[in-house]
Amino acid sequence: MKPLLVGHEDPMTVLVAREIEAISDVDIVGWANSHTAPPSYAEDAAYVQLARCNPRNAVRLAKAHGRLRSLVARSFPDFNDKSDEAKEIARKLFLRRIRTYLDGEIEPFQICRMVSPIEDKYDFPLWLGDLYNGCDWMDENATREQASHLRWMIEQILAENAELQSFGSE
DSSP secondary structure, 13-73, as one string: HHHHHHHTTSS-HHHHHHHHHH----TTTTT-HHHHHHHH--TT-HHHHTTHHHHHHHHHH
Can you say how many angstroms the Cα of residue 39 is from the centroid of all Cα atoms in its chain? 25
Whether the model clears a pTM of 0.85, i.e. scores above it, the answer is yes
Mind listing the pLDDT tens digit for each residue in 35-47? 999 999 999 999 9
Mind listing the pLDDT tens digit for each residue in 83-140? 999 999 999 999 999 999 999 999 999 999 999 999 999 999 999 999 999 998 899 9
d(CA 163, CA 93): 17
Categorize the per-residue pLDDT at 166 as very low, low, confident or very high, splitting at 50, 70 and 90. very low
Which sign does the torsion angle of CA 71, 75, 81, 87 carry? negative
List of residues 6+ apart from 141 with CB closer than 8 A: 109
Q: Does residue 164 have a pLDDT over 50?
A: yes
